[in-house]
């Protein structure tokens, strides 16, 4: 079985922690931001959701670009297309940094810029939107780290907070930049990694979401609401992944699955626009790769592809993500 | 180790905060309590109604004397009912208040929002229209678009007004007092007033509203029946009426509802949504007259615009719709249009926070209570603020909705007579922040509905005149900010609404109310 053991800084310094953190965390974050578009789906701030810790006094920055599109969505449970919006495109540029505060505690900060529009031709002639979305800050803590002769088991809780930084209109779906609400995500992850490189992680997070302000003071959500405040449903997020480090920890490949389940909310009504109050469900699969030129630090590249294969009040979004990472001591 | 424990505490604290973070109570109806009426309008029974000849048209028999044994039995039943009332029944009493017309108006707005969904295309690119003879659809009947909505509200409000005039007539004819005044053991749930109890005005409203709305929203019949039963039950429990008050009120309500619905059956709304050949010929006529025509740009294109013949629907207070038809819009090659194209482009390129807010605040688009609903909401808020009694409230809603429906008819006449293109029809590559509706541009429906509504509210609530007229102007320009209307659609539409409202104001000024 495992024996709990405090890993010294030297232990981790060499390779795994930094690089992996950088890739996984930043990338996963950007994936979430980009891929789960804002059709209610946003999970923008779902982050520190990997099993790897930064080293103390190490930092990593990420710049990532994501290109996502969808031409079908689920109206309630009904998968459909809609030529009013045709194919909706969502581009995101994400800047993010992760900093190792202690060897067991990491701090994150991220800010995405989002741009949306419909392909031509479309029947709606709606203007897209663009601007800064939500700033995210988070902490991740290594609660358990137990090693055996073949691998390491770890448990990592994390908490993140995100909130809009611009006055974007969340009630402008499917083009809105985000849900326009504060989100507090508390996550628990369990990871098991074989020394040979194979690893798996499962995680669950509760995403508490607050309220968003519309610019109208009446809306219908299975009944009248005489207010400009909209309740954005809180949600569960589940994740499972399997991956492996290859080529002396320079390359990592991963397959992942993630799900969102809103705890309340209404369905998109027939041939009507979505709104932030919708009950969103989504299941997504993806593949992810990262490459480090030098495992000791410096530049790395990350790439991923994701697609939503099942949903409710959600876009059938497919996204491609490319990013560069840079890690350094401070 | 200590550090570690502290971190754990922090994490636990964060989790706790998340779970207990404050939840807001979002209002699904306006919160107001029973209030003291600013007046009782004792002569209201002699006001001139809209559909019935006078308040005495329907025969309501004299009630039993308050000293009779029959009445004593009724009083005993009221006491018994109050004694055995459940918590939720008492909450209903509080909800309905002593001016329940506002609740029925809210129910109407909610049904409008529920049914204001435009039918989408079928898989083969065709569109199926809602069909009143097969209301289940799909698509469900009705599509409560702005003309449908304003018409539903007009029939509702006019019927409520006429029925309450009749109720007032008999109230002051028979002068029967309320049970709580006769028997001190009965506690009145609402603020005291001196309005006679027979017939019950609340029961009038429960029946007339239920019946009008059931005809307008046939799939909601069971729901409306349930709301009406809940309302009727609350009347007895409030201690202000005995059962015979309620029965007499129901009778008036049903009588006037039938009268209103027979007018509705033949007002021309049935043929407002035309078949394609009729729609094509309307368009061809405009092309011939003016050299332009609006086109639907949706994908797949809708073959017919929204209610091309709504302009032919029978008006309430205007004899001939063409009397209110506005001047022609600028020519398609005019300097005025060229300038306005630049204005629209500028708004689109520079969406300010304020213009966006205005465009969205007044949008009242698909899935909402429509512009007419928005003005009913304002009316409701003023009615409560100015402590109007039910009859005064009904009068306010009736003139408001008649003027707005007439405004809508006049606007639709202009829309399909001039058949003027929308900004997306004339500006290549143009994008909007509001949804472009499925009907011609000139004049703007929001502008006409809003200024017609504002004129009525300015007349009824003179202290609010400046405010409501400013709102109407803002509602009008909001459509230009949204990118879906020309400036002249808004300005001419505003004037058109004022003109049309004047016809209703003439009637209002001569109905006998002070």
In this prediction, residue B117 carries a pLDDT of 98
How far is the alpha carbon of A143 from chain B, nearest alpha carbon, in Å?
8
Report the percent of chain A where pLDDT is more than 70: 84
Residue B24 sits at the chain A interface (C-beta within 8 Å): yes
Q: Among A182, A196, A120, A145, which residue's Cα sits nearest to residue A3?
A: A145
Instruction: Give me the helices (H) in B334-464, please.
Output: 335-349, 353-361, 370-385, 390-418, 423-426, 445-460
Q: Among B374, B382, B364, which residue's Cα sits nearest to residue B452?
A: B374
In this prediction, residue B5 carries a pLDDT of 59
In this prediction, residue B22 carries a pLDDT of 58
In this prediction, residue A27 carries a pLDDT of 41
In this prediction, residue A162 carries a pLDDT of 97
**Would the CB atoms of A220 and B377 count as touching at under 8 Å?**
no
Contacts of A159 in chain B (CB under 8 A): 11, 14-15
In this prediction, residue A8 carries a pLDDT of 30
In this prediction, residue B8 carries a pLDDT of 58
Residue B127 gets which letter from DSSP? B
In the predicted structure, residue B20 carries a pLDDT above the cut 70: no
Q: Which residues pair with A319 in a beta bridge?
A: A68, A306
Q: How confident is the model at residue A55 (pLDDT cuts 50, 70, 90)?
A: confident
Question: Whole-angstrom distance between the N-terminal and C-terminal Cα of chain A?
Answer: 36
Q: How confident is the model at residue A12 (pLDDT cuts 50, 70, 90)?
A: very low
Contacts of B435 in chain A (CB under 8 A): 124, 126
| Separate counts of helices (H) and strands (E) for chain B | 18, 0
In this prediction, residue A23 carries a pLDDT of 39
Structure tokens at A244: 């492996």
By CA distance, what is A217's nearest residue in B? B361
Q: How confident is the model at residue B71 (pLDDT cuts 50, 70, 90)?
A: very high
Q: Among A243, A137, A138, which residue's Cα sits nearest to residue A187?
A: A138
In this prediction, residue A40 carries a pLDDT of 28
Q: Mind listing the domains of chain B with CATH numbers?
A: 68-265 (1.10.606.20), 272-509 (1.10.606.20)
Average pLDDT over residues B378-383: 98
How far, in Å, are A12, A106, A189, A240 from residue A155 at the CA level? Answer: 17, 14, 6, 14
Backbone angles phi, psi at B22, to 5 degrees: -65, 140
In this prediction, residue A217 carries a pLDDT of 96
In this prediction, residue A47 carries a pLDDT of 33
Q: Are B246 and B205 in contact (CB under 8 A)?
A: no
**Would the CB atoms of B138 and A270 count as touching at under 8 Å?**
yes
In this prediction, residue A32 carries a pLDDT of 38
Q: How confident is the model at residue A325 (pLDDT cuts 50, 70, 90)?
A: very high
Q: How confident is the model at residue A52 (pLDDT cuts 50, 70, 90)?
A: low
**Would the CB atoms of B113 and A218 count as touching at under 8 Å?**
yes
Average pLDDT over residues B460-466: 98
CA distance linking residue B469 with residue A122, whole number of Å: 37
In this prediction, residue B315 carries a pLDDT of 98
CA distance linking residue A118 with residue B39, whole number of Å: 57
Backbone angles phi, psi at B381, to 5 degrees: -65, -40
Q: How confident is the model at residue A3 (pLDDT cuts 50, 70, 90)?
A: very low
CA distance linking residue A239 with residue A255, whole number of Å: 11
Q: Are B213 and B259 in contact (CB under 8 A)?
A: no
In this prediction, residue A295 carries a pLDDT of 72
- 3-state SS of chain A is CCEECCCCHHHHHCCHHHHHHHHHHHHHHHHHHHHCCCCCCCCCCCCCCCCCCCCCCEEEEEEEEEEEEECCEEECCEEECCCCCCCEEEEEEEEEEEEEEECCEEEEEEEEEEEEEECCCCCCCECCEEEECEEEEEEEECCEEEECCCEEEEEEEEEEEEEECCCCCCCCCCCCCCCCCCEEEEEEEEEEEECCCEEEEEEEEEEEECEEECCCCCEECCCEECCCEEECCCEEEEEEEEEEEECCCCEEEEEEEEEEEECCCECCCCCCCCCCCECCEEEEEEEEEEEECCCCCEEEEEEEEEEEEEEECCECCEEEEEEEEEEEEC
How far is the alpha carbon of B119 from chain A, nearest alpha carbon, in Å?
7
Q: How confident is the model at residue A9 (pLDDT cuts 50, 70, 90)?
A: very low
In this prediction, residue A53 carries a pLDDT of 74
In this prediction, residue B3 carries a pLDDT of 53
Q: Mind listing the domains of chain A with CATH numbers?
A: 3-329 (2.40.160.40)
Tell me whether the omega of the peptide bond preceding residue B25 falls within 30 degrees of 0, making it cis: no
The residue with tokens 């499925």 is B438
How far, in Å, are A11, A209, A314, B294 from residue A81 at the CA level? Answer: 53, 28, 12, 26
How far is the alpha carbon of B447 from chain A, nearest alpha carbon, in Å?
18
Q: Are B326 and B414 in contact (CB under 8 A)?
A: yes
Residues 6 or more apart in contact with residue B354 via CB below 8 angstroms: none
For B296-344, write each residue's pLDDT tens digit: 999 999 999 999 999 999 999 999 999 999 999 999 999 999 999 999 9
Q: How confident is the model at residue A36 (pLDDT cuts 50, 70, 90)?
A: very low
In the predicted structure, residue A49 carries a pLDDT above the cut 60: no
User: Rounded to two decimals, what is the model's pTM?
Assistant: 0.92
Structure tokens at A225: 């609401």
Average pLDDT over residues B173-199: 97
Contacts of B357 in chain A (CB under 8 A): 215
In this prediction, residue B24 carries a pLDDT of 78
For A235-294, write each residue's pLDDT tens digit: 999 999 999 999 988 899 999 999 999 999 999 999 999 999 999 999 999 999 999 888
Contacts of A83 in chain B (CB under 8 A): 121, 298-300
In this prediction, residue A4 carries a pLDDT of 36
In this prediction, residue B14 carries a pLDDT of 54
Residues 63-122 of B with CB under 8 A from A: 106, 109-110, 113-114, 117-121
In this prediction, residue A26 carries a pLDDT of 39
């Amino acid at each position: 079985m495992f024996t709990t053991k405090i890993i010294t800084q030297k232990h981790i310094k060499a390779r795994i922690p930094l690089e992996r953190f950088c890739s996984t965390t930043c990338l996963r974050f950007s994936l979430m931001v980009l891929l789960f578009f804002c059709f209610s789906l946003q999970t923008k701030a779902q982050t520190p959701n990997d099993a790897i810790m930064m080293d103390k006094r190490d930092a990593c920055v990420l710049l990532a670009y994501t290109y996502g599109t969808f031409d079908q969505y689920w109206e309630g449970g009904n998968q459909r297309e809609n030529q009013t919006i045709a194919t909706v495109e969502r581009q995101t540029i994400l800047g993010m940094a992760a900093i190792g505060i202690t060897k067991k505690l990491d701090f994150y900060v991220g800010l995405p810029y989002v741009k949306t529009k419909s392909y031509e031709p479309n029947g709606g002639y709606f203007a897209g939107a663009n601007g800064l979305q939500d700033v995210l800050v988070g902490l991740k803590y290594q609660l358990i780290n137990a090693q055996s002769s073949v691998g390491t088991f770890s448990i990592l809780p994390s908490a993140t907070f995100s909130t809009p930084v611009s006055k974007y209109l969340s009630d402008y779906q499917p083009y809105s930049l985000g849900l326009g609400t504060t989100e507090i995500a508390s996550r628990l992850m369990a990871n098991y990694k074989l020394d040979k490189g194979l690893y798996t992680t499962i995680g669950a997070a509760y995403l508490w979401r607050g309220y968003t302000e519309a610019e109208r003071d009446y809306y219908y959500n299975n009944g009248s609401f005489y207010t400009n405040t909209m309740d954005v449903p809180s949600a569960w997020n589940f994740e499972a992944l399997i991956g492996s480090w290859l080529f002396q920890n320079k390359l990592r490949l991963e397959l992942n699955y993630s799900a969102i389940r809103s705890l309340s909310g209404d369905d998109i009504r027939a041939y009507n626009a979505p709104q932030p109050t919708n009950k969103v469900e989504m299941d997504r699969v993806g593949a992810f790769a990262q490459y480090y030129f030098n495992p000791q630090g410096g530049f790395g590249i990350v790439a991923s592809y994701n697609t939503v294969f099942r949903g409710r009040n959600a876009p059938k979004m497919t996204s491609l993500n490319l990013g560069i990472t840079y890690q350094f001591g401070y | 180790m200590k550090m570690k424990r502290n971190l754990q505490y922090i994490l636990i604290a964060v989790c706790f905060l998340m779970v207990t973070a404050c939840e807001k109570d979002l209002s699904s109806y306006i919160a107001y309590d029973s209030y003291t009426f600013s007046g009782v309008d004792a002569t209201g029974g002699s006001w001139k109604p809209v559909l019935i000849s006078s308040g005495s048209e329907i025969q309501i028999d004299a009630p039993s004397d308050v000293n009779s044994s029959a009445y004593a039995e009724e009083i005993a039943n009221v006491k018994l009912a109050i004694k055995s009332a459940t918590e939720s029944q008492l909450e209903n009493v509080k909800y309905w208040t002593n001016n329940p017309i506002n609740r029925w108006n809210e129910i109407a707005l909610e049904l409008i929002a529920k049914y204001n969904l435009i039918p989408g295309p079928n898989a083969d690119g065709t569109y199926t229209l809602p069909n009143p003879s097969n209301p289940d659809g799909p698509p469900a009947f009705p599509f409560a678009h702005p003309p449908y909505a304003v018409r539903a509200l007009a029939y509702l409000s006019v019927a409520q007004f006429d029925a309450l005039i009749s109720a007032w007539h008999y109230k002051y004819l028979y002068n029967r007092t309320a049970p709580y005044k006769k028997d001190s053991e009965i506690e009145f749930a609402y603020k005291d007033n001196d309005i006679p109890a027979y017939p019950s005005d609340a029961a009038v409203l429960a029946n007339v509203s239920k019946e009008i709305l059931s005809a307008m929203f046939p799939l909601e019949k069971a729901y409306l029946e349930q709301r009406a039963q809940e309302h009727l039950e609350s009347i007895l429990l409030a201690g202000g009426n005995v059962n015979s008050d309620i029965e007499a009120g129901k009778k008036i309500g049903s009588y006037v509802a039938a009268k209103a619905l027979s007018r509705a059956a033949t007002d021309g709304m049935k043929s407002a949504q035309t078949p394609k050949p009729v729609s094509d010929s309307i368009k061809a006529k405009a092309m011939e007259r003016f050299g332009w025509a609006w086109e639907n740009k949706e994908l797949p294109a809708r073959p017919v615009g929204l209610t091309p013949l709504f302009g032919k629907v029978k008006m309430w207070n205007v004899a001939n719709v063409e009397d209110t038809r506005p001047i022609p819009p600028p020519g398609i090659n005019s300097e005025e249009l060229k300038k306005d194209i630049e204005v629209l482009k500028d708004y689109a390129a520079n969406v300010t926070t304020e213009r966006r807010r205005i465009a969205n605040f007044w949008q009242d688009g698909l899935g909402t209570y429509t512009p007419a609903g928005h003005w009913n909401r304002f009316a409701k808020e003023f009615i409560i603020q100015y402590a109007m009694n039910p009859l005064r409230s009904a009068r306010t809603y009736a003139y408001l909705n008649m003027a707005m429906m007439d405004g809508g008819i006049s606007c639709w006449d202009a829309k399909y007579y001039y058949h003027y293109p929308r900004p997306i029809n004339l500006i290549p590559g143009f994008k909007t922040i509001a949804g472009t509706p499925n009907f011609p541009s000139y004049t703007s429906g929001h502008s006409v509905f809003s200024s017609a509504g504002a004129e009525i509210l300015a007349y009824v609530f003179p202290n609010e005149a400046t405010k409501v007229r400013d709102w109407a102007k803002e509602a009008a320009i909001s459509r230009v900010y949204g990118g879906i209307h020309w400036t002249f659609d808004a300005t001419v539409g505003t004037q058109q609404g004022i003109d049309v409202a004047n016809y209703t104001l003439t009637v209002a000024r001569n109905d006998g109310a002070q």
